[in-house]
């Protein structure tokens, strides 16, 4: 009987109790320097780890527009040619201010940067760095994001 209860829990109750993944959007900011393509990474405000500019969808903006807004606020990307379809996605657990962790799925949109500003809303809170995609894959923590960058 215990195995039947376990099977019932695993197949029926556990999926009902799992929280659905919340959605965030990210900008995969790119630039070409000669034959080399580079990715723009920023540090997170809480842990200082390297991440793509990302955040929650913004009311009144579509997903690529929200990603571009995050790229402006977090990295100073003032203008970019945005792809309208995501190039991929990755998951991670976001720790909220309350300490609670929630599962998040991040849709990633290419942003071909045409203008970058030195002064931007979070300039004093973050560091930004242009690196090759292979190097970016080594710098980020999320395995699915690492794979996306390696495939780039």
Q: Which domains does the chain have, with CATH numbers?
A: 20-151 (3.90.79.10)
Q: What is the pLDDT of residue 100?
A: 86
Per residue in 77-87, pLDDT tens? 999 999 999 99
Residue 84 burial class via C-beta count within 10 angstroms: exposed 0-12, middle 13-18, buried 19 and up: exposed
* 126, 45 Cβ separation under 8 angstroms: yes
The pLDDT value recorded for residue 139 is 98
What confidence score (pLDDT) does residue 96 get? Answer: 83
Q: Could you report the average pLDDT of every consecutive run of 10 residues in the chain (152 residues)? A: 65 58 96 93 94 97 98 98 96 88 96 97 98 98 97 86
- Residue 49 pLDDT: 94
Compute φ and ψ for 100, nearest 5 degrees.
-70, 140
């Amino acid at each position: 009987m215990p195995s039947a209860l376990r099977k019932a829990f695993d197949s029926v109750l556990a999926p009902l109790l799992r929280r659905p993944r919340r959605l965030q959007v990210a900008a995969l900011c790119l630039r070409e320097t000669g034959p080399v393509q580079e990715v723009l990474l920023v540090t997170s405000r809480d842990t200082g780890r390297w991440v793509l500019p990302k955040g929650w969808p913004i009311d009144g903006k579509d997903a690529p527009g929200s990603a571009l807004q995050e790229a402006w606020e977090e990295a100073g990307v003032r203008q970019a040619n945005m792809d309208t379809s995501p190039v991929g996605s990755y998951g991670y657990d976001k720790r909220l201010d309350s300490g609670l962790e929630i599962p998040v799925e991040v849709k990633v949109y290419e942003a071909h940067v045409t203008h970058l500003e030195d002064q931007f809303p979070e300039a004093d809170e973050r560091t930004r760095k242009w690196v090759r995609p292979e190097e970016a894959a080594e710098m980020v923590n999320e395995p699915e994001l690492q794979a996306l960058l390696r495939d780039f």
